[in-house]
Amino acid sequence: MKVKRYLRLSELRLLVLFILLSPLISLSQDLMAGVAKRKITPEPLIAVSGGVGLPQAAKEKEDDLYVRAMVFAKGNIKTAIVSIDNLGWPAVWGDKTRALVNRIAPENILIGATHTHSAPDAYAFADESGNHAADIDYLNWCTVQMAEAINEALDRLEPVHLKIAHEKVEGKIAYNYYAPQLYDPRCGVLQTIIASGKRKGTIQATLTNYAVHPEVIGNKRGILSPDLVGPLHERIEKETGGLSIFMNGALGGMVTADNRLDNGKEANDWEECQRIGFLLADEALRIIDKSAIQTNPNLRVASKKVTFPVASVMMQHILKNSPLGMGSKDGTSISTTLNYIQLGTAQMITIPGEALPNIGYYLKRKMPGEHPFLLGLTNDAFGYILTKEDFNSFDRYQYISRTSLGEKTGEILVKEALYLINKNHQPKKQQKQ
């Protein structure tokens, strides 16, 4: 009798324990998301960089620079999508941040640069004598701020639903400086919607993925600024109440902000940044507004280490003389991480630089998911990425050929990206609900 009673009591305890834990077990299989940001405006102001060469002194600022982080988790899978207001963010700095985040696998932390041309130099670009003017202390401080944002986002994880869309934007936002119509006008938008609690149904965050050079102001006017990305965030955060994050796309050769004036000149002031940024924000919100809510989205994350040869004499000089220790010692090769994320109906692939629009169009066309996202300048920014057919083939392409790793970069990128996509894509009918 005592044995039977003991068994019954044990079973009862197990049943009570299961009932108590079942909400947590269920919750762990929901898609969770958390967001956070940190201001990284240097005080006092420091010089800003628009590309290869020494930075230009900054005497004033228009808006602040930020690090913004979105973390996703489902079951035991976690990933972070991070954006920083900078020209590019080398893996050297990204890895310092990854080392400070112990709750996400390092390879699952994606760090992309907005590509503003009026932020501090993160590459320590060397001149002909090998000297650089990067502020290493500031850059190290940024890596800590980024880690703090990711860790805060992890602490704020909560169940979410998704809205996802990919559609053409309208209006005067971007164009191709080399060939006006050869650019991708499509914008990918992803929103996280809080799924439970007092804030149920409210927008937690909006991610905008669009290809454009934020170089309205540039680096020669002595102004530190996030450029058009700042007003984009301002408008989206005002309209939604949630965090805004921007990830650039295939903006190479030379997809830039459409700040052309009727008299043949360009508008290069903060008012033009606001016009373009507000317009892109309004279009992103218009696109996402009509999309359906996805209540049980899947999450898959994959990565692959890829090595690129460096044939460009200019890029070899940069790699060999930068104090950051990027690439091989002789500057003839460099490695980076490519990432693939499947999140609901969105497919994302990272690009470690500025891929030309034809590469972007091809990758999107080959992505089997419903909503393709190309995260440009993510995990690294190795200059322009061309196909071998385009490399040094036109006078127009002399500059972008010179500031690329070489003619093989595009071919390697496409091959490795498609490998990641095809290996890891999970059709909707195979996803566990």
Listed by start position, the domains of the chain span 299-427
How far apart CA 352 and CA 113 sit, in angstroms, is 10
> How would you write 361-428 as a 3-class SS string?
HHHHHHCCCCEEEEECCECCCCCEECCCCCCCCCHHHHHHHHCECCCCHHHHHHHHHHHHHHHHCCCH
Q: Which residues pair with 77 in a beta bridge?
A: 74
Which range has the worst mean pLDDT, 7-16, 117-126, 172-181, 285-294? 7-16
- Residue 24 DSSP code: H
pLDDT of amino acid 424: 94
**CA separation, residue 98 to residues 138, 148, 224, 405 (Å):** 17, 11, 27, 26
Kindly report the pTM of this predicted structure.
0.91
Residue pair 231/116 in contact (Cβ under 8 Å)? The answer is no
**CA separation, residue 378 to residues 91, 113, 216, 341, 416 (Å):** 9, 6, 22, 13, 15
Q: What value does the mean pLDDT take over residues 296-316? A: 94
Name 103's Cβ contacts closer than 8 Å, sequence gap at least 6. Answer: 78, 151, 154
The predicted-structure confidence for 33-45, as pLDDT tens digits, reads as follows: 999 999 999 999 9
pLDDT of amino acid 233: 98
The predicted-structure confidence for 235-266, as pLDDT tens digits, reads as follows: 999 999 999 999 999 999 899 999 999 999 99
pLDDT of amino acid 6: 46
The tokens for 305 are 């280490």
pLDDT of amino acid 10: 55
Q: What is the phi/psi pair of residue 13, to 5°? A: -65, -40
**Count of other CB atoms within 10 angstroms of residue 77:** 16
Residue pair 112/82 in contact (Cβ under 8 Å)? The answer is yes
The predicted-structure confidence for 19-36, as pLDDT tens digits, reads as follows: 444 444 434 489 999 999
Name 99's Cβ contacts closer than 8 Å, sequence gap at least 6. Answer: 106
Which range has the worst mean pLDDT, 89-103, 263-277, 303-317? 303-317
Percent residues over pLDDT 70 in the chain: 91
Q: Is the pLDDT of residue 387 over 90?
A: yes
pLDDT of amino acid 54: 75
pLDDT of amino acid 81: 98
pLDDT of amino acid 324: 87
